[in-house]
Chain A
Amino acid sequence: MTADIEIRNVNKHFGAMAVLEDLSLSIKAREFIVFLGPSGCGKSTLLRMIAGLETVDSGEIAINNERIDHLPPGKRGVAMVFQSYALYPHMTVRDNLAFGLENIGMSREVIDARINEAARILEMPHLLERKPGQLSGGQRQRVAIGRAIVKEPKAFLFDEPLSNLDAALRTRTRLELAQLHQRLQSTMIFVTHDQVEAMTLADRIVVMNNRRIEQIGSPMEIYERPATKFVAGFVGAPAMNFVEATLDRSAENAAARFADGVSVQTEIVSNQLSDCKHTFGIRSEDVRIVAAGQGNADGVVEVLERLGERTLVYARLGDGQQIVGSDAGNSRIAVGHKVGLAFDGQKSHLFDESGRAWHAREA
């Protein structure tokens, strides 16, 4: 079963504090949507409003064109996986899975069939008679997902479900969730503050900040063409380089000039840009390390981070700005070397004072 979800002009306050302001969003059936944002941006609240665990102050939420914002949580046809798993501690795994189905008066045979199917999908038939206290973190996670699967919901809601797992298990579970989505073809909404989870799982990412949606787009859109400076800085590690710049708009494409005279020719069309101060932005992998004097600017290497497949180079420019560039994994650069930095004009971004982003024309 799957469903599209429509959120229209939703507002939410906790006391005097606004949590969500006039937020609208359409989620298509079978889509894997990730709400990504820093703590306190309202992403979990939005998920809980869809689940029915928080009321909606104003606005509408509809599933398959049917308004659900006034229905109790159990009647909305959604299933949720909690960050803490929220398993019933005194029930066996089987009873945990059966509880929701028994409550709607489903027959024993159907319940057993669904539990067995879910246990098979999640490879946990041997866990069915155990209690949550006897399971490891990863196993509890499976049970929590199993409890959602047996309900055959219209939509799955995940509230930071991987944050309590260790790194290796998180990577594995992430992969399993992606496979589960392909297999079930259900609508899934996933809340996280981890951009790697968002990038790897999502069909579309909803980047949220400060009560609002900053951008909705596919992972690569978000990464390559961030709509705002916030998105550009939040997504990607290390964070995008930002440098204050003045613009030279005399040519067709604008050139950015840094304080110490360094100039970068971008491929961003000049006449769409305003006269105000701009910030130049570029990701570390789009700053190549070349011999001193050969690039747009020279800098002195302060820190090296060797990641194996590439080396991150933290270089200090003449005017004191730090730029992170990227070199080959077997780079011979050492701390203290003077290097040249070559900026890729095609991959450069400009942000105006309101934070709005401008990008090169799409190739």
Chain B
Amino acid sequence: MADRLTMPQTAMPAAGVRTPSADIYAPQWRNFMFVAPFLFFFTTLLVFPLLWGMWLSFHKADTFSSGNFIGLGNYVRLFHDKVFLQSVWNTFYFVLLTVPTLALLGLFLALCLNRRTRTAAVLRTLFFSSSVLSVTIVTLIWRIVFIPNVGLLSTIYGWFGATAPAFISDPSLAMIGIAIATIWWCIGLPMMLFLSALQQIPQDIYEAAALDNASRWQTLRSITLPSIKRTFILVVIIQIVLQFQLFGQAWLMTRGGPNNLTKPIVLYIYDTAFRRWDLGLGAAASEILFILILIAAMAQYLVTRSRGDQT
């Protein structure tokens, strides 16, 4: 043991000579090995399909051939397709219905349940539990609720002698029905993100606010909300990206009907590419969706940032 301890001394340079120690932060080619596995899957499963999709969108393609280059032909066809334009509008309408509700309701639930009581813990679990269900189960549950005449909603309305709104078949209500099911399904994540943000606010700031005579409303507005602003932006961006990709709920609850009024872009892409095998047109629609999500998320980010502060 003693020998081992003295070993480095023999390796040390003569007294007075100083060798520069190796820069441990210097780039080394073998560091690349650590990111290589990730890069491989990132490239093959994300970058490559993305580029291939773009390439496809400029070609007339079906499953058997990648066809001829037709420039912006697919895009021109898209913008003359009433069903596509309807699906874009439907998607925006759905995002508008769900994202603000999810953010505000999530925040409200988090504010109510951010306490150390057993009731709060039980309720937190309950509200989050719907998030673990698959879309099939969620839509099944809500079909049971919404189904005319025998559904839960009809039964409850029946007790009061009223007729329940037809959330699945009424053209003006169908999308709202899907939105309700989606909000119920997705509320867990925003709530949890807000809860974790709320729990990171130091307690002594609230004590200082109490000594500063702040009312509950002033404390919420001046202390709590500014402290969780970043989380609010995060929740909104996550939800925009998620809700623009609406597919399962619409497919399983209404099949896009009545009269394409609940057909979102992803369902249009699915129909076009995998039921009508018009891959080029489907790819073009995917690119449009990609750009829409990008713009919406970036806009949200830029708006909140320019208005906000840099802390």
Contact = CB atoms under 8 A, between A and B. Distances in A.
Contacts of B218: 103
B212 interface: yes
A80 B207 CA distance: 9
B204 A84 contact: yes
Interface string B212-231: 11110010001100110100
Contacts of B214: 74, 99-100, 103
B3 interface: no
B210 A53 contact: yes
Contacts of B212: 74, 99-100, 103, 147
Interface string A92-125: 0000000110011000000000000000000000
Given A99-B214, A103-B214, A90 B208 contact: no
A30 B223 CA distance: 33
Given A84-B202, A88-B205, A89-B311, A104 B211 contact: no
Contacts of A147: 208, 212
Nearest to B225: A90
Contacts of A51: 207, 211
Contacts of A103: 212-215, 218
Contacts of B311: 89-90, 131, 133
A104 B222 CA distance: 15
B67 to A, nearest CB: 56
B222 A99 contact: yes
A199 interface: no
A75 interface: yes
B309 interface: yes
Contacts of B215: 103
Interface residues of A, number: 25
Interface string B182-224: 0000000000000000000010110111111111001000110
A82 interface: yes
Interface string A52-78: 110000000000000000001111001
Interface of chain B, main secondary structure:
helix
Given A53-B207, A88-B222, A89-B311, A74 B227 contact: no
A86 B201 CA distance: 11
B282 to A, nearest CB: 46
A79 interface: yes
A59 B227 CA distance: 37
B309 A80 contact: no
Contacts of B223: 88
A3 to B, nearest CB: 16
Contacts of B222: 88, 91, 99
Interface string A128-163: 000101000000000000010000000000000000
Contacts of B209: 88, 99
B219 to A, nearest CB: 10
A43 to B, nearest CB: 17
B213 A86 contact: no
Interface in A262-308: none
B213 A100 contact: yes
Interface in A215-233: none
Contacts of A78: 211
Interface in A28-63: 51-53
Nearest to B309: A90
Contacts of A91: 222, 226
A74 B208 CA distance: 9
Contacts of B202: 84, 86
Nearest to A95: B222
Contact of B204 (A75, A82, A90, A104): A82
Contacts of A131: 309, 311
A82 B213 contact: no
B207 A104 contact: no
B277 to A, nearest CB: 54
A75 B212 CA distance: 9
A100 to B, nearest CB: 3
B74 to A, nearest CB: 48
A82 B218 CA distance: 21
Given A84-B202, A131-B311, A90 B227 contact: yes
B226 A90 contact: yes
B208 A80 contact: yes
Contact of B205 (A52, A72, A79, A86): A86
A53 B211 CA distance: 8
B301 to A, nearest CB: 18
B234 to A, nearest CB: 16
Nearest to B223: A88
A82 B309 contact: no
A99 B213 CA distance: 9
B207 A82 contact: yes
A293 B226 CA distance: 74
Interface in B5-40: none
B208 A82 contact: yes
Contacts of A88: 205, 208-209, 222-223
Contacts of A82: 204, 207-208
Max chain A C-beta neighbours (<10 A), residue from B211, B212, B213: B211
Given A88-B209, A89-B311, A103-B214, 16 more contacts: A51-B211, A73-B210, A74-B210, A84-B202, A84-B204, A86-B202, A86-B205, A86-B207, A88-B208, A89-B205, A90-B309, A99-B212, A99-B222, A100-B212, A103-B212, A133-B311
The 8 A-B residue pairs with the shortest CB-CB distance, nearest first, are A74-B213, A100-B212, A86-B204, A90-B226, A86-B208, A103-B213, A73-B210, A73-B211
Interface of A: 51-53, 72-75, 78-80, 82, 84, 86-91, 99-100, 103-104, 131, 133, 147
